Chains A and B, each alone.
Chain A
Amino acid sequence: MRNTLLVIKQEIANTLGKPSFWITALLLPLMIMGFTIGSQVVVNRMFEEEDDSALLNGAPQSQAIAIGYVDQAGLIQEFPQGFPSQMLQKFESEAMAQAALESGELQRYYIIPADYTATGELLSVEPELKPFTRFGTTDLFSNLLSYNLAIQAQTPALLLEPLPTINERALAPQDDHGLGGYDTFAGFIVPFAVLFIFFFVLTMSGGFMLQSVSREKENRVAEVLLLSLRPRELMLGKIVGLGFVALVQMGIWLGGSLFALERNRALLNLAADAVILPSGFVGWAIAFFLLGFLVYAAMLGAIGALAPTAREGSQFTFIILLPLMLPLWFQSAFIQAPNGALATFFSLFPFSAPMAMITRMVTATVPLWQIVLSLVLLAATAYGLIALAARFFRADTLLSDATLDWKRLRSELLNRKAGA
């Protein structure tokens, strides 16, 4: 037991003592987050300049928006009720509108051609190219045109939004935790972030196990260690030590993400009292994460014990990590239909459950029996795989330089080779 504790301590100190760990743990998420949120901020600010939907609702303006129009078709007869007509300026000719644009009086102007009713084409003239903005007709002008075409207040509104009030009545009521559903930024980004974080931390921490075992084989330390430790003590020490490291990494990533999301509620259009993660999430997340870590650390540790080098072992890594990639590939199914058949299957399938179930839990309310069943299946799988990996942690495998190929792996799995 003392030696197992020493191995745990050594694994933690070794991994946390490496600058590469902290670069990965801190800088990578910061870069990803910075890029994701930064680009959103940039785009949102550009949209804000263009967004005149508030005008349609009669919201007070903090700054005057000057939009001109040249009505060659003679369509604009009147403004709808509450329409901010002061924001629009009519010009008799394109030359006059162009002059106003060049002098900075206008942000843009529209030309309604004489044959507009036949072609439906509208010309929008802006002083510079804005590739991220909505390039076509704005809501404001579209609404004005629709109103004048129909001369009815109801019709243009319906043309703009054919299904204004849908009362959804779900047979299985779901709580979206106040994120606003998948078609909102928050409803998409939070589950996606959880999915992404679980994928990266599980694959990276599993990879630590492979590297740790391979390193001791490659450096020939295994022979020295085996005189002090039983192979299974060594494996147990590594799993527990690296499990702690994985928790630290998860804490940094998940904690950092939550902090960033809390600080950017406005960006996410989240109300101050909206809950980003459901209650009890941390407890469930730790349970699923640790069991998921055990599953993947056991498999990658076994590969490390059998393969002569980390490089040779890494050829099996993709196959082993494949089930973790499935929820990423089908992410839209998780976020749009969290209680659908596909998401439910992946959240019960032990190899994808750690990611899939947690993502579902962020997106919707998952029945408790499914969570418990998933945990039980995951725990049973972890137990079985650790027992299997322990079979590969033998002196003859840890001291062997034999190449690892599918044939040898099959023989080892079928226990055809005599143990030391």
Chain B
Amino acid sequence: MKPSVSITHISKSFGQVKAVKDVSFEVFPGEIFGLLGPNGAGKTTAIRVMLDIFRPDGGSVTLFDGKLTEETKHRIGYLPEERGLYKDLKLEPTLIYLATLKGLDEATARQRLESWLKRFELYEHRQKKVQELSKGMQQKAQLIATLLHDPDLIIVDEPFSGLDPVNTRLVKDIIEEQRQAGKAIIMSTHQMHQVEALCNRIVLINNGEAVLYGEVDRIRRQFAGNAVTLSGQGTFTDIPGVLEARQQNGDWHLALEVGVSPQEVLRTLALRDDVKLERFEIAEPSLDDIFVMVVKGGATAGEE
């Protein structure tokens, strides 16, 4: 299967700042691909280079097996992190304008828009100005603008921002539907549990470089042994060799530094008087743990 997106060794600098350094990845039709990284890592710049908004200093971008042309652009739907709608205009004409810029004729855009507005429960609000809508409604409207022209490549940056659990579920369902329809989807988010739930593969960018790339399950197996789950009395923080300790459903979940074994942590805890350990087990790290380990601890994927 040919990839919808093929990024090969792209680099982009702004003055002295190297925003993206030698990043490569591919995204295939029918998959949800996670583009992860801390704030300022270079994700948005990578997306903008991919979309020809910025020209790369080096490397190449191939979309749908060729260069990005005006026609190819119409096959892309992009939901930027910061909502991009005319706040002082009414919702319906704004969405129709953006859809017509994507190659749809006005009648078709209007026809499709009705069903999308109804599905997102925005139909009653279509004549309201965008600024009169709640943040969640604006996010849903932005998502409609991304999907209205039925793109083959969908790029969504923080798609769940501002959404309540019901609408989060709705958006997840829609993303999954699009995947099943054979669309290539790139999702950038900091909500790691959503990545775990939706993404087949990920790339993690840190300081402009791709530091992790591959299937989610494989990456998690590579990082096995770098996290422990425990329960007991006391506060299990400030433990040497632990990058992050957080409480989860009454248990404590610890992400370990590179080179620190669970046994070393167990020995440390056994010597402490301020905590009483009742249960200690090696955990398969979550993507959240892996993110913290890689970004804060400089870990890299080990061998399976």
The reply to whether A3 and B83 contact each other, CB–CB distance below 8 Å, is: no
| A227 on interface, CB distance cutoff 8 Å | yes
Considering the complex, which residues of chain A in the window 1-32 have a beta carbon less than 8 Å from any beta carbon of chain B? 3, 6, 10, 13-14
Give the chain A neighbours of B83 by CB distance below 8 A: 220
Q: Closest A-chain residue to B78, C-beta based? A: A227
B86 engages A221 (CB within 8 Å): yes
**A215-B86, A221-B86, A222-B84 known; A227+B97 contact, CB < 8 A:** no
8 Å CB interface, A186-212 against B: none
A221-B84, A223-B80, A224-B98 as given contacts; A14 in contact with B89, CB under 8 Å: yes
Task: Say whether A219 contacts B53, CB under 8 Å.
Answer: no
Rounded to whole angstroms, the CA-CA distance of A216 and B82 in the bound complex is: 12
Asked if A229 CB lies within 8 Å of chain B CBs, one says yes
Check A75 for interface membership: any CB of B closer than 8 A: no
A396 CB-CB contact with B under 8 Å: yes
Interface residues of B in 75-109 (CB under 8 A from A): 76, 78, 80, 82-89, 93, 97-98, 100-102
> CB distance A219 to B85 under 8 Å?
yes
Q: Do A226 and B80 have beta carbons less than 8 Å apart? A: no
Known: A6-B100, A224-B98. A219 touches B87 (CB 8 A): yes
Tell me the bound Cα distance from A219 to B73 in angstroms: 22
When C-beta atoms are compared, the residue in chain A nearest to B77 turns out to be A227
CB of B101 within 8 A of CB of A3, answer yes
Separation of A251 and B88 alpha carbons in the complex (Å): 27
Cβ B102 vs Cβ A228 within 8 A: yes
Closest chain B residue to A225 by CB distance?
B101
Report if A224-B80 is in contact (Cβ < 8 Å); known contacts: A219-B86, A396-B14. Answer: yes
Provide the residues of chain A in CB contact with B85, threshold 8 Å: 219, 221
Tell me if A395 counts as interface (CB < 8 A to partner B): yes
B54 contacts the other chain (CB 8 A): yes
Least Cβ distance of A412 to chain B in Å? 14
Let me know if A399 is at the binding interface, CB within 8 A.
yes
Flag if B87 contacts A227 (CB, 8 Å). no
Q: Is B51 an interface residue (CB 8 A)?
A: yes
> Residues of A within 8 Å of B, CB-based: how many?
24
**CB neighbours of A223 from chain B (8 A):** 48, 53, 78, 80, 82, 84
- Beta-carbon contacts under 8 Å, A385-406 to B: 395-396, 399
Q: Write the nearest CB–CB distance from B159 to chain A, whole angstroms.
A: 15
Chain B residues within 8 Å of chain A by Cβ, number = 27
Nearest-Cβ distance from residue B106 to partner chain A, whole angstroms: 10
A262 to chain B, nearest CB (A): 38
Taken together as a complex, chains A and B put the C-alpha atoms of A215 and B87 apart, in Å, by 9
Residue A420 at the B interface, CB < 8 A?
Answer: yes
> What's the nearest-Cβ distance from chain B to residue A17, in Å?
8
A420–B45 alpha-carbon span in the complex (Å): 12
Given A3-B101, A6-B97, A219-B84, A395-B89 contact (CB < 8 Å):
no
| B176–chain A nearest beta-carbon distance, Å | 24
Shortest C-beta distance, B27 to chain A (Å), equals 17
Say how far A182's CB is from chain B's closest CB, in angstroms.
45
Q: Are A10 and B76 in contact (CB under 8 A)?
A: no
- B14's nearest neighbour on chain A, judged by CB, is A396
List of B residues within 8 angstroms of A420 by Cβ:
53-55
A interface footprint on B53-83 (CB within 8 Å = 1, 0 otherwise): 1110000000000000000011010101011
B145 proximal to A (CB < 8 A): yes
* Contacting residues, chain B, for A222 (C-beta < 8 A): 84
The CA of A221 and the CA of B84, in the complex, are separated in Å by 4
Residue in B closest to A417 when the chains form the complex, CB atoms: B15
Q: Please state if A224 and B54 are interface contacts (CB–CB under 8 Å).
A: no
| Identity of the chain B residue whose Cβ is nearest the Cβ of A224 in the assembled complex | B84
Output the residue of B73, B78, B84 with the most chain A CB within 10 A: B84
Q: Is the CB of A224 within 8 A of B97?
A: no
Q: How far is the CA of A221 from the CA of B97 in the complex (A)?
A: 12
Q: Report A180 CB to chain B, min CB distance, Å.
A: 48
Q: Contact: B84 with A220, CB < 8 Å?
A: yes
Please measure, in the bound complex, the distance between the C-alpha atom of A216 and the C-alpha atom of B80, giving whole angstroms.
14
For B55, what are the chain A residues with a Cβ–Cβ distance below 8 Å?
A: 420
Closest to B100 in A: A6
Q: Which residue of B lies closest to A13 (CB)?
A: B93
The docked-state distance in angstroms from the alpha carbon of A216 to that of B87 is 10
Q: What are the residues of chain B within 8 A of A13 when measuring CB–CB?
A: 93
Note all chain A residues with C-beta closer than 8 A to B74. Answer: 228
* Other-chain contact of B78, A224, A395, A417, A418 (Cβ < 8 Å): A224
* A3 nearest in chain B by CB position: B101
B88 contacts which chain A residues (CB < 8 A)? 215
Q: Cβ of B48 and Cβ of A224 under 8 Å apart?
A: no
Interface string of A77-91 (1 = CB under 8 A from B): 000000000000000
Chain A residue with minimal CB distance to B131? A219
If A228-B73, A395-B54 touch, whether A220 touches B82 (CB-CB below 8 Å) is: yes
The distance in angstroms between the C-alpha atoms of A270 and B15, with both chains bound, is 66
Q: Which residue of B lies closest to A230 (CB)?
A: B70
CA distance A194 to B78 in the complex (A): 48
In the bound complex, residues from chain B placing their C-beta under 8 Å from that of A399 are 48, 53
Contact assessment for A220 and B80 in the assembled complex, using a CB-CB cutoff below 8 Å: yes
CB-CB < 8 A to B84: which residues of A? 219-225
Whole-angstrom CA separation of A6 from B76 in the bound complex? 19
A168 → chain B closest CB, angstroms:
57
Q: Give complex CA distance A220, B139 in Å.
A: 13
Docked Cα-Cα span, A224 to B97, in Å, equals 12
Q: Are A228 and B54 in contact (CB under 8 A)?
A: no
CA distance A256 to B239 in the complex (A): 81
- 13 CB contacts below 8 A, A to B, read A13-B93, A219-B84, A222-B84, A223-B48, A224-B78, A224-B145, A226-B53, A227-B53, A228-B98, A229-B101, A396-B14, A417-B15, A420-B53
Task: Give the 5 A-B residue pairs with the shortest CB-CB distance, closest first.
Answer: A228-B101, A220-B84, A224-B84, A220-B82, A221-B84
13 further A-B contacts with Cβ under 8 Å, apart from A6-B100, A223-B80, are: A13-B93, A14-B86, A219-B84, A221-B85, A223-B53, A224-B98, A224-B145, A228-B73, A228-B98, A228-B101, A395-B53, A396-B54, A399-B53
